[in-house]
Amino acid sequence: MALDPESAAAHTSFATALWCQRDWPGAMREIRLSLELNPGQAMTRAWLALLLRGMGRSDEAIQETRRAYELDPFAVAISGNVGWHCYSVRDYECAVEQFPRTAAIGAYANAQRGIALAQAQRGRNDEAIAAMRDAISISPQRSEFLADLAYVLAVAGRTEEPASHSRARRRTSRRASTSARAHVGLNEPDSAFAWFERTSWEWPHRASLDDPALDPVRADPRFPQLAARIQRDMGMR
């Protein structure tokens, strides 16, 4: 930036460095500067959308995600972000339309995972289970997908199968919040919150609070405590 203060790419790179240091205001400033210099940067807009969503500014986030998608509809990550934003605001029809578009770009396991979670919220249990099994077949190394499969099986009422998947998930824990979600599906709130306590909340996972799968435990007095903890862990308070 010292050599060329009008280099949009340099400001974006600096923003990601600040992001990794949890300097959210600094990251936002640099992303905004980058977009002022070059509004056509699709991936920079996608970063902005993630930052906004992590701050709880969902309406602005989905607007920026859609702008990024208009600029580059064939970027897998950007296309997938549209689906996840739709899911988070409970527009499941949008999500199940968008994720297959993402999957059509390439073998992207997260697209199948998104379909599974959105279909589970719609009560389309067979479709949800099939999509989650597809995700596992694409990325069998993603151990957290076992917990996602446990969740969609639990929502479908197939309560004997999730236990074995949850045990397998414990042996290869990668993100404890997915195990927590599985226990929400199993109607085991105490176990769910125990797993939440084991979760390391790294940016932008504050957006996980928007997960519709957690709706059954939102009235639990431990949920606002969890939200406050995430804020603290992320340096937002």
Whether residues 154 and 64 fall in one domain: no
Candidates 31, 46, 56; CA nearest to 83 is: 46
**Other beta carbons less than 10 A from residue 182's beta carbon:** 30
Tokens in use for 121? Answer: 């919220």
Residues whose CB is less than 8 angstroms from the CB of residue 12 and which lie 6 or more positions away in sequence, other chains included: 30, 31, 34, 41, 43, 44, 47
* Percent of the chain that is helix, strand, coil (3-state, to 5): 75, 0, 25
**Final residue before a domain boundary, out of 15, 50, 71:** 71
Residue 226: which domain range?
A: 143-237
> What are the C-alpha distances in Å from 52 to residues 115, 121, 145, 193, 205?
23, 24, 26, 26, 12
**Final residue before a domain boundary, out of 22, 41, 71:** 71
Query: In which element (H, E) is residue 112 found?
Result: helix 109-122
Looking at the 3D structure of the chain, how many domains does it have? 2
User: Mean pLDDT throughout 56-77?
Assistant: 92
According to the model, what pLDDT value does residue 206 have?
A: 57
Angle between helix 8-20 and 24-37 (nearest 10):
170
**Final residue before a domain boundary, out of 50, 71, 92:** 71
Lowest mean pLDDT among 30-39, 54-63, 72-81, 177-186: 54-63
101 part of a folded domain: no
| Radius of gyration of the chain, Cα coordinates, nearest whole angstrom | 18
147 part of a folded domain: yes
Return mean pLDDT, the chain: 88
Query: Does residue 223 surpass a pLDDT of 50?
Result: yes
124 part of a folded domain: no
Q: Which residue would you say has higher pLDDT here, 2 or 237?
A: 2
According to the model, what pLDDT value does residue 143 have?
A: 84
Residues whose CB is less than 8 angstroms from the CB of residue 152 and which lie 6 or more positions away in sequence, other chains included: 116, 117, 119, 120, 125, 128, 129, 132, 185
pLDDT tens digits, 146-169: 999 999 999 999 877 766 565 555
Q: 144: pLDDT confidence band, cut at 50, 70 and 90?
A: confident
Supply the DSSP string of 151-217, one letter for each residue. HHHHHTT--HHHHHHHHHHHHT-S-HHHHHHHHHHTT-HHHHHHHHHT----TTGGGGGG-GGGGGG
113 part of a folded domain: no
Q: 185: pLDDT confidence band, cut at 50, 70 and 90?
A: very high
Q: Around 31, how many Cα atoms within 13 Å sit in the side-chain half-sphere?
A: 23
Q: What is the CATH number of the domain that holds 58?
A: 1.25.40.10
Tokens in use for 184? Answer: 């929400």
